Amino acid sequence: MSSSVITDARARELRRDFPILAEQVHGEQLVYLDFGATAQRSTAVLDVERDFLEHRNAAVHRGAHELAALSTSDFEDARDTIARFIGADADEIAWQAGATDALNTVTLGIAAASRGRGGDESVPLRLGPGDEIVITEAEHHANLVPWQELALATGATLKWVPANDRGTWSIDDARAVVTEATKVIAFAHVSNVTGMIAPVEQLVELATSVGAITVLDACQSVPHRPVDFHALGVDFAAFSSHKMTGPNGLGVLYGRRERLAQLPPARTGGSMIEIVTMESTTFMDPPTRFEAGTQAVPQVIGLAAACRYLEGVGMAAIAEHEEALGALMVERLSALDGVTVIGDDASVPRSGLAAFIVDGVHSHDVSQFLDARGIAVRGGHHCAQPLHRRLGVTASTRASSYFTTTDDDIDALVSALGDVRAYFGADR
């Protein structure tokens, strides 16, 4: 893995690998600062997908013809590449439609175990009245709503680590909520609103001390920093391909081997079965039993290409670059009159994103104003309504970076924002 520092010159050079970043919008050069919502595709990924579709495309794990053999071997090689990228074994990752889908596979699987599916092997995952599920008030809806549904389905109680006035929380806040009754602790590795980096090791230790499992929403970490699931010791994790320069429509469910073996499949059908009779069915071992139906083969191969590309850039270098950009955004945005950045101040390391509130101007107006200058950011609640409610607002504007982002991009953002309150008459 490369460890070279990403200078602005290097970021500009890497940007040339992403054709869309050269686009103009409204006659202005695009300044894309919405990587937290979706990253863009490099020619490396686009070329690999096209080459696969032109020369080897076939459904995998079925059919005796040559194309089927080629696509199956590409597909399983890709599984090896992606598993290595996240510090997992190949049989510990299952392809899903996205991170949201992967988190639902966990919650629906636990619901099934709680109904008695999966037999004796699934007993450790069973939940019922008296048991507690702990999340945080800062979660993305994808790591919140499925847990609400699971609590409703099982009679377990949903509790949460409260967010403070800045929208962040600490391990001590978590210790105050977790009890001997806690069976699951689910949380985001990196917050998509505050950029907070969760104390994963300490939470895993806390979970272990009460016999709870851990579920990590790794959507905003795997694309942006080196992540090793074995080293972190989490039980399950989920992330999306499209946020790490890979294709859309693909997510990854990671599960420690013994945990995946305990989880009943939430989706059933073709490709995940051993023996089917008219009365009943036996399922394949993980990960295949979590991959019902025809697989997203070009997307999986595209994601492997994305991982190789990211390894070439260097994940440690990406993390360092983005933490510097995160601190720069917090410093420069906070210095603007009437702008408040959500989250900790610049002295606390955060991922390369900043959500902020502009006094007197709704985030949709801020986003449109920036868009007119070619700057793409995200306005709204960022799928974190409870966190915004906790902070007393309905929405914020978020700028999120990647390794192609330069200081000039932040300059453009800050300079445009300097005019936004005057434009809407909010400075009077």
Rounded to an integer, what is the distance from CA 311 to the centroid of its chain? 18
**Cα separation, 121 vs 408, whole angstroms:** 55
Residue nearer to ligand PMP on the CB measure, 39 or 113: 39
Nearest approach, Cβ of 172 to ligand PMP (angstroms)? 23
Residue nearer to ligand PMP on the CB measure, 192 or 404: 192
**Cα separation, 211 vs 180, whole angstroms:** 8
DSSP state of 332: H
Residue nearer to ligand PMP on the CB measure, 195 or 226: 195
Q: What's the start-to-end Cα distance of the chain, in Å? A: 53
Per DSSP bridges, beta strands 375-376 and 31-32 are parallel
Closest-CA residue to 226 (of 246, 257, 255, 197)? 197
Nearest approach, Cβ of 335 to ligand PMP (angstroms)? 27
Residue nearer to ligand PMP on the CB measure, 100 or 367: 100
Residue nearer to ligand PMP on the CB measure, 315 or 384: 384
Residue nearer to ligand PMP on the CB measure, 361 or 387: 387
Which residues, other chains included, contact 173 with Cβ-Cβ below 8 Å and sequence gap of 6+? Answer: 161, 162, 164
CB 201 within 8 A of CB 187: no
Q: Where are the alpha helices (DSSP H) in 16-169?
A: 43-55, 66-85, 99-114, 145-154
Nearest approach, Cβ of 105 to ligand PMP (angstroms)? 12
Is 383 a residue of the active site?
yes
| Set 145, 372, 376, 383: catalytic member | 383
Neighbours of 141 (CB within 10 A): 15
Q: Which strand (E) or helix (H) includes residue 326?
A: helix 315-334
Q: Which residues bind ligand PMP (CB under 6 A)?
A: 98-100, 140, 142-143, 188, 192, 217, 219-220, 240, 251, 383
Nearest approach, Cβ of 221 to ligand PMP (angstroms)? 9
**Cα separation, 263 vs 90, whole angstroms:** 17
Nearest approach, Cβ of 188 to ligand PMP (angstroms)? 5
b/e burial code for range 150-186 (CB count within 10 A of at least 16 → b):
bbebbebebbbbebeeebbbeeebbeebbeeebbbbb
**What amino acid positions are annotated as catalytic residues?**
383
